[in-house]
Chains A and B, each alone.
Chain A
Amino acid sequence: MSVIVCPACDLAHRFTAAPASGHRQCARCRALLQRRENPSIDTAIALAVCALVLLVLSNAYPLVAMQVNGSSRDTTLIGAALGFYAQGFESLAALVFLTTVVAPLLQITTLLYVLIPLRRKRRAAGQNAVLRILTRIRPWNFMEVFMLGAIVALVRLSKFAHITPGIALWSSALLMLCLSALTSQTSPEHLWRWVERNRE
């Protein structure tokens, strides 16, 4: 098809190869219309594997430890969600769990599930459904907001307690960067271009 329609304002544009300079904007509402060509599937897989390792580290080690009056407490990423659960706020616990653990995990695993077979010129079972889950879950990954929230909490605590950052705090910060790189490398256009190339 030689026409593309802007998803943000419905204006029809003649299809051209995306300019080498980068993105093409809608002539009317300036929304992003086309992205730069030639993303690399290898880069995307490498970033996803890297993110998976960081995600495991972030959940296996404590995020922060706090010492006050000789006693000490620490928490993990999942522990933060369980804190709400322990106090009877199950819906808040579910929200924190979904946005900091489930969404990143699903984003990484669904990508690997689809991309590794694609790279070997195969097609994963249920590929389209899995890719749709990915596009639906991706906006709920709030890792970067969580990091800022953690900083706010640590600033408040540092007044009256001794705070030790844990391994997971550093790996979460790296995970946040890795996930945002992964998201920009695997936009829907890129993903579906790989899928279509595989069909040919």
Chain B
Amino acid sequence: MTSPATGRSLGLLVCLDCRQTVRGVTARHMRCPRCHAPLHERKPHSLAVTTVLVVCAAVLYVPANLLPVMITRTIFDDERDTIMSGVLVLLHSGSWPIALLVFVASIVVPLLKILALGVLLYTAWRRSPRRRLQRSELFRMVEFIGRWSMLDIYAVSLLATLVQIQSFASIIVGWGAWAFAAVVVLTLLAARTFDERLLWDKPQHD
């Protein structure tokens, strides 16, 4: 079987900043002739950096879901809300479409992202030849949906700013919000450091 011509086999690089194809003469410390962005054949240390980011995100996912994201303080008591109990509050107040939205954006998406990145990392490391197109599309989906998990952070920021009425109620931000934001940012960074071309690279025969 003849392998298709790739940038690597032809000695061509593509600039990820301006998308120009460049003839790679010396691979070290090369810059794009058009936009002067640093050029790399593959993102440097992609698998190692991405693995570290995903592992950190997976660890922080636990406190993000167990610690309260916000504490509602009234004259009677303190009500601690985790992400899941926030979804239930929305569900009981009768706005199930919003409850479903928050459930998907805050619980399903981060978990799926961590799992998907784990699968992609493992198969890219193994240089698995199976289902390349599906894995490529999985990666693009991870890239696309990742940002929507920030939704809960913005909701908490507005609630904590608005609900500061001394005699009635005040909302205090909890460390769960911090852990949750860290999970979202770490997975966003992981999607940027992962080089999807690794999913397509052939094992090197020497």
Interface residues of A (CB under 8 A from B): 1, 3-12, 28-31, 63-64, 66, 68-69, 71, 73-75, 79-84, 87, 89, 91-92, 95-96, 99-100, 128-129, 131-132, 135, 139, 142, 145-146, 148-157, 159, 188-189, 191-192, 195-196
Q: List 15 A-B contacts (CB under 8 A).
A: A5-B12, A5-B14, A7-B16, A8-B197, A12-B9, A29-B136, A64-B158, A69-B165, A80-B161, A87-B160, A89-B177, A131-B18, A132-B35, A142-B150, A149-B151
Contact of B200 among A9, A148, A149 (CB under 8 A): A9
Evaluate whether A156 and B90 lie within 8 angstroms (CB atoms) in the complex, with A75-B158, A145-B148 already known. yes
By a CB distance below 8 angstroms, the chain B residues around A79 are 161
Flag if B4 contacts A7 (CB, 8 Å): no
Evaluate whether A31 and B150 lie within 8 angstroms (CB atoms) in the complex, with A5-B6, A64-B162, A157-B162 already known. no
| Interface of B, helix, strand, loop or mixed by DSSP | helix
By a CB distance below 8 angstroms, the chain B residues around A152 are 90, 98, 101-102, 151-152, 155
Flag if A84 contacts B136 (CB, 8 Å): no
B183 touches A (CB below 8 Å): no
Flag if A9 contacts B19 (CB, 8 Å): no
How far apart are the CA atoms of A150 and B151 in the complex, in Å?
8
How far apart are the CA atoms of A170 and B101 in the complex, in Å?
21
Please give 9 more A-B residue pairs, beta carbons under 8 A apart, in addition to A6-B14, A11-B200.
A1-B21, A9-B196, A29-B133, A73-B162, A95-B185, A132-B36, A146-B154, A148-B101, A152-B101
Q: Which residues of B66-112 have CB atoms within 8 Å of chain A's CB atoms?
A: 89-90, 93, 95, 98, 101-102, 105
How far apart are the CA atoms of A104 and B90 in the complex, in Å?
30
